[in-house]
Structure 1
Amino acid sequence: MEKQKISIIIPCYSEEEAIPICYNALIKEVILRLSEVNFEIIFIDDGSKDETLKVIKNLSEKDSRIKYLSFSRNFGKEAAIYAGLNHATGDYVAIMDVDLQDPPELLILMYETLLTDEYDCVATRRTTRQGEPFIRSFFAKAFYRFINKISQTDIVEGARDFRLMKRPMVEAILKVGEYNRFSKGIFEWVGFNTKWIEFENVERVAGITKWSFWELFLYSLEGIISFSTAPLAIASVTGFIFFVLSFLAIVVIIIREMMWHGSAFGWPSLVCIIFFIGGIQLFCIGILGQYMARTYLETKKRPIYIVKEHN
């Protein structure tokens, strides 16, 4: 009987220090313990600025199970995940971070769970955010609460990209070929039965995170816009509310002028109202602009990533 195969996708951006540690951990914690399974490890070099590609090449020369794709520039983690899924050939496909914040030993439990027909995917979520700055943890929790209120796609709080999927689910994800990608939402949108495994936050083994607060904020906006049209409705409702308030204010001013002559004068209050209403208008136009910008990018049909070099 032919052995089953697991593909492990590992996006990398300037992670030359973490890659050897990650590889050794996979060999020790997973590959040697699952000798009945074939493996391929797919490193995605996302336009790194250091010696990431060189380190990966050196490993691939020693281990034929290592494959790599090197992008022509930095396209982002979402593009790296999509590229990995596109090139994975395994019966099961895993996605994990190179910094070992995703414990590789959990892959064994994931695989054993998927051997039954009950689940199509085993995913992970963090139960704690120990070691993260408070402000970052606060906004992360707020994001999950907000998006789950306005979106029809439920996204589990603390969900990681770290998961193991059967081939049918991978094929379904690849059919979602949109340019602006938010994988956490796509994983949930395609459906399939998913079992969640919880674990506590783990510190990076090497290097520093490449996600700044601003980048995480933009990424959260991507998720909100990709999986909800509620902000457009909020803009419309806000505009209607201020229209009603403005109309009531005009009525009050007319009544005051009729009862107490000269009460309608005063430019400071008028300027404040103009600035306030103008700000609301610009805010609503900005929401509309974000959706139009995403539509504009989708209509260009640009490739999600460009591979410069691979093996």
Structure 2
Amino acid sequence: MSLLTVVVPCYNEEENVPFFYGELMKNEPFFDEKGIELELLYVDDGSRDGTVTEVKKLREKDQRVHLVSFSRNFGKEAAIYAGLENAGGDYVVLMDADLQDPPSLLPEMFDLLEQGYDSVATRRVSRKGEPPVRSFFARMFYRLMKKISRTEIMDGARDYRLMTRQMVDAILSMQEYNRFTKGIFGWVGFSTKWIEYENVERLKGETKWSFWKLFLYSLDGICAFSTVPLMLASVMGAFFCVVAFLMIFFIIIRKLIFGDPVSGWPSLVCIILMVSGVQFFCTGILGQYLAKTYMEVKRRPIYLVKERL
């Protein structure tokens, strides 16, 4: 029999853990018929509530439930990597514990995988329940990534994805510290079938992703899969050099023809402020890439395990 590992990253999901287990096990007859064994791997990302306790209660009833618990909060990207690294299945699926990734889609996803695909991924066709401002900037981010990156990052893509062992091993071979999984999925390639579904709101609790955290996450994605911002800084520098030479030429000609002294200190101050702002902006771009490089060369572990069941 083949083995399917269900990887579930968790951070303060005490209320959702048992409900997710119940919904997932509704698919058990389908997988029994297919000759597929199930194992459930919860990855606790340093939760401060009773998430670990709830997982242990499930394990007492079902030995197919496993747990990897971090020593502190390392972030969802680290939890995803840890889940893939500790998954022993011939097939691996990533899912959120809040039931925004409907377990009812698993049979359809597995049937599609058997048609020869290496992965079956999901994307939301709506953002019902999200603040309009957040939805707007999310769409703008995906549009931007399509223009500045060669890696395919699908608009509305979820981490909910069923993969073959070959694809999982390819993802694990990318051991960078600064991880952007949505981009990594696209970078490794392999044939992928997309399933669309309407957005599902969280069962219980509140999202851990604030607007600021999403903004920082988007910067990670841009730095990880595009060097266009660096080229933009170079282009802006060249542009202002050309403008400066043209202005110098203009001032000399005006002085020779009209004899006017150079005047207009308010406009000069505005120009200085604008150019200074551009310089700081370009320095900030360089700083982002330098910071990512700094974290990579340290070779720190992506996560640390406190407890493993």
TM-score w.r.t. the length of structure 2 is: 0.97
Mapped contact 1:120–1:166 kept (Cα < 8 A):
yes
Other-structure match for 1:285:
283
Equivalent runs, 1:121-140 vs 2, <5 Å: 121-140=119-138
Native 8 Å contact 1:154 1:188 kept in 2: yes
- DSSP-derived class of the 1:38 partner: strand
Contact 1:14/1:49, CA 8 A, preserved across alignment: yes
Per-residue displacement from partner, 1:54-84 (whole Å, max 9, x unpaired)? 1111111111010011101100000000000
2:30 match: 33
Query: Equivalent residue for 2:12?
Result: 14
Map 1:26-175 → 2, pairs under 5 A: 26-28=24-26, 30-35=27-32, 36-116=35-115, 118-175=116-173
- Tell me, yes or no, if the aligned pair for 1:256 and 1:264 is still in contact at 8 Å: no
In structure 2, distance between residues paired with 1:89 and 1:55 = 23
Deviations 1:96-143 (A, max 9, x none): 111111111111111122223x21100011111111111111111111
**SS at structure 2 position matched to 1:34:** helix
CA distance in 2, matches of 1:96, 1:260: 73
Determine whether 1:5 maps to 2:3.
Answer: yes
**Structure 1: gaps of 5 or more residues:** none
RMSD: 1.1
SS in 2 for 1:100: coil
Residue 208 of structure 1 pairs with residue 206 of structure 2: yes
Q: State how far apart, in whole Å, the 2-side matches of 1:24 and 1:263 are.
A: 82
Letter of the 2:286 counterpart: L
The CA distance in 2 between the partners of 1:227 and 1:203, in whole Å, is 29
SS in 1 for 2:103: coil
- Where 1:309 maps in the other structure, the secondary structure is strand
Contact 1:7–1:39 under 8 Å retained in 2: yes
Match of 1:217? 215
- Residue 308 of structure 1 corresponds to 306
Aligned residues: 307
TM-score normalized with structure 1 length: 0.96
Structure 2 unaligned residues grouped into runs of 5+ = none
How far apart are 1:237 and its partner, in Å? 0.3
Q: Secondary structure at the match of 1:33?
A: helix
SS for the counterpart of 1:163 is strand
* Deviation, structure 1 residue 262: 4.1
Superposition deviation, residue 254 in structure 1:
2.2
Distance 1:250 1:136 in 2: 45
CA distance in 2, matches of 1:23, 1:218: 32
Distance 1:55 1:247 in 2: 68
Which whole-Å CA distance do the structure 2 matches of 1:51 and 1:252 have between them?
71
1:274 counterpart residue number: 272
Structure 1 Cα separation of the partners of residues 256 and 18 of structure 2: 81
